[in-house]
Amino acid sequence: MIDVCNIQVMKPLLSDHGFHFSKAKGQNFLTARWVPEQIAEDSGIDRTTGVLEIGPGIGPLTQQLCLRAGKVCAVEVDHRLEPLLKQTVGEFDNLEIVWDDVLKLDVQTLVAERFSGLRPVACANLPYYITSPILTALLEAECFDAVTVMVQKEVAQRMCAKPGTADYSAFTVFCQFYAEPELLFDVPPHCFMPQPKVTSAVVKLQVRKELPWRIESKELFFRTVRASFAMRRKKLSNGLTSGFPELGKAGAEEVLRACGLPENVRGETLDIRQFADIANEILRRRG
Ligand code: SAM
């Protein structure tokens, strides 16, 4: 197996194929072998697992996934990588590469078609410019057991944040609604080529099998969450009034009272159960 993380191997491989990194495609390739090894190890995969990888690049993580999984399906948008991947991962017969933009694919269908009889998980060193649309697609597909991703450290902190902290956001609530995220380890810029300006981190999202909250309408729940964070520095009653004009100020205040929340409460201090209570109460008032 070619050691693609070794700079002495990677540089000639790239130049032999006249490959130049595309900043627009978020191409920062791993040059420290411990990183893909540790990601694959921590993602808890084995021969019973089907792994969806996004953005294999020249294949450092793909190699580690293929060594452990039943099947790997890697989605890559940059066709220039085809001859390079042939050299680095061509030997694996449990690998299928799909040449496409992951955001244009129906993830649920892809998983159902490729991973029959296997436990589906997703694992990737994500292209950072589309981190949130990819995570949104992976979690909303509701077909993975776990999603293990490398992202910018500040995004990782937002995914794992607790209520009442500066990092807690609508994106936090979205991630923690579908999964239980755990920050696994940091990866410094010198582990990549070219080096990114920021530190990265690996997060494992253990997807919830059952939601521990009673949510009457998912659409209304997320609308409530967006309204609650839209005016971060103001009272939640203001956010709800502007997110749900039909309630009016008095109606918004009544909703909070009915949920046992103080009149001056701020959205950023609420946990998921409290957002669920508010959304359910708004729905009840609509009749
Ligand atoms: N996995 C490799 C590694 O760790 O060295 C490469 C990771 S690099 C951060 C992100 C990869 O995602 C690149 O190979 C890039 O071409 C690919 N990519 C970017 N946008 C994509 C998209 N919309 N769909 C699929 N792959 C994409």
Name the E strands within 10-145.
29-30, 49-54, 71-76, 95-99, 119-125
Of ligand 1's listed atoms, the one at least distance from the Cα of 22 is: 16
Specify the CATH number of the domain 218-286: 1.10.8.100
> Which residues have CB under 8 Å from 281's CB, separation 6+?
255, 258, 259
The pLDDT profile of the chain, 287 residues, written as one tens digit per residue, is 999 999 999 999 999 999 999 999 999 999 999 999 999 999 999 999 999 999 999 999 999 999 999 999 999 999 999 999 999 999 999 999 999 999 999 999 999 999 999 999 999 999 999 999 999 999 999 999 999 999 999 999 999 999 999 999 999 999 999 999 999 999 999 999 999 999 999 999 999 999 889 999 999 999 999 999 998 878 999 999 999 999 999 999 999 999 999 989 999 999 999 999 999 999 998 77
Domain-wise residue ranges, the chain = 7-207, 218-286
Which bin fits 158, alpha (ψ -120 to 50), beta or left (φ > 0)?
A: alpha
Specify the CATH number of the domain 7-207: 3.40.50.150
SS3 assignment, position 196: coil
Distance (Å) from CA 249 to ligand 1 centroid? 46
9, 20, 21, 25: residue to mutate for ligand 1 pocket, most atoms within 8 A of CB: 25
Q: What residues flank ligand 1, with Cβ below 6 Å? A: 25-30, 54-57, 60-61, 75-78, 101-103, 125, 127, 130
Question: Do the beta carbons of residue 173 and residue 158 sit within 8 Å?
Answer: no
Same topology, domains 7-207 and 218-286? Answer is no
Which tokens is 227 given? 């309204």
> Which residues have CB under 8 Å from 216's CB, separation 6+?
279, 280, 283
Distance (Å) from CA 90 to ligand 1 centroid? 18
Distance (Å) from CA 178 to ligand 1 centroid? 24
